[in-house]
Amino acid sequence: MNTNTIYLDNAATTPIAPSVKEAMIKAMEVFGNPSSTHGYGRESRILIEQTRKKIAKELNCEPGEIFFTSGGTEADNLAIQSSVRDLGVERIITLPTEHHAVVYPAEHLRDRFGVELVFLKVNEFGDIDLNELEALLTSSSKKTLVSVMHGNNEIGNLMDIDAIGDICKTHEALFHSDTVQTIGHFKIDLAVTKIDFITCSAHKFNGPKGVGFLFARGGVKIHPQNFGGGQERNMRSGTENIIGIAGLGAAFELVCSDREEEETRLNGFKQDLIEGIRKVRSDAMFNGRSADIGKSLYTVLSVALPQDGKNDMLLFQFDMKGIAISGGSACNSGAQKGSHVIESIRPDVPTQNLRISTGRYTTTAEIQSFLEAFAELTQQ
């Protein structure tokens, strides 16, 4: 039984919005196979293509550049592995702070196929030096894929994908960005940003789990990983997840409809959290750029407290008070080792880390309740 009353782990996943549930329930009545040519099939096909067009219009790209997937992990893998298999990539440049959906396939391609793998240096704030990227691209004639996430899911850092895209374009490198934390929450204009692949997962913006998409720029010719009926223009065989795609479309429409208002509201909550935490614990640090308004995800604040033995059970104690927060990426929750992101930026300073991530249904009262609980549980 769920005893939580306050949910502040929206970077891990978000509750499905009522309008999204309605769209999915309505889609359950559209049962025809989208590959069928009769009326039932055409009805399903129309639903899928309307969703594709809706997404493409918002991102300022062509509908044919959007491929529905099971989520961000599949989309990241498809972009990275296809770049090596189909596009002649011999070198991947990425960050040690990337999500494992990027790091692990890159390491697999290095270990299995001898692809050169280069990790850009990150400083104690999680920043990269674009001059290092440019120097690396200048130093080798190898066909290169650069993979840099737009917004870090643990420390909140926002990367300048426009500047990175320009550098990649100049040096004829492919550019992939894991945009799972930023799609919908931030305006991305694919007619302006020089990027070849971006990825999306619907459950990060009040949509259902198990559905997302890959944007692959039209001139980039990749081939399918799975073969069968040739769905998604032969890129992803298998009968389409009509209900999930309908939910994705409704959630995407919702998150884009009030993006600026939500950014202002949630940045206000972030500022309240920063001030409240500092008032209680003067020794609290904020991981990466998560406390820098305008340089980080407005949904994420990552806090580091000294690991002095008193804070070891903090996540459990918050949970017992009905407050759901995390220590980092939900994908690492079952692992014994700590966050690879925190280890990359602060390898020699052990800390207890708390990630507070807000969302559409977070309220002022919940922020105040968290701060009261934080004061009670961490008071020096």
For residues 83 and 106, what is the distance between their CA atoms, to the nearest angstrom?
Answer: 11
| pLDDT of the residue at 164 | 98
Instruction: Give domain limits for the chain.
Output: 6-15+259-378, 18-257
pLDDT at 333 over 80: no
Round the average pLDDT of the chain to a whole number and report it. Answer: 94
Percent of the chain with pLDDT over 70: 95
The one catalytic residue among 61, 168, 256, 331: 331
Quick check: is 331 catalytic? Answer: yes
pLDDT at 76 over 50: yes
| pLDDT of the residue at 59 | 98
Sign of the dihedral through C-alpha 189, 300, 331, 22: negative
CATH number for domain 18-257, candidates 3.40.50.1000, 3.40.640.10, 3.40.390.10, 3.30.70.60:
3.40.640.10
For residues 316 and 322, what is the distance between their CA atoms, to the nearest angstrom?
Answer: 10
Higher pLDDT among residues 67 and 227, named by residue: 67
Contacts of 375 (CB under 8 A, 6+ apart): 276, 280
User: Left (φ > 0), alpha (ψ -120 to 50) or beta: where does 93 sit?
Assistant: beta
For residues 117 and 102, what is the distance between their CA atoms, to the nearest angstrom?
Answer: 12
Calculate mean pLDDT across residues 208-236. Answer: 88
pLDDT at 301 over 60: yes
CA distances from 5 to 266, 321, 378 (A): 19, 9, 20
pTM for this model (two decimals):
0.94
Higher pLDDT among residues 95 and 331, named by residue: 95
Q: What is the CATH number of domain 6-15+259-378?
A: 3.90.1150.10
| pLDDT of the residue at 286 | 97
| pLDDT of the residue at 327 | 87
Calculate mean pLDDT across residues 75-99. Answer: 97
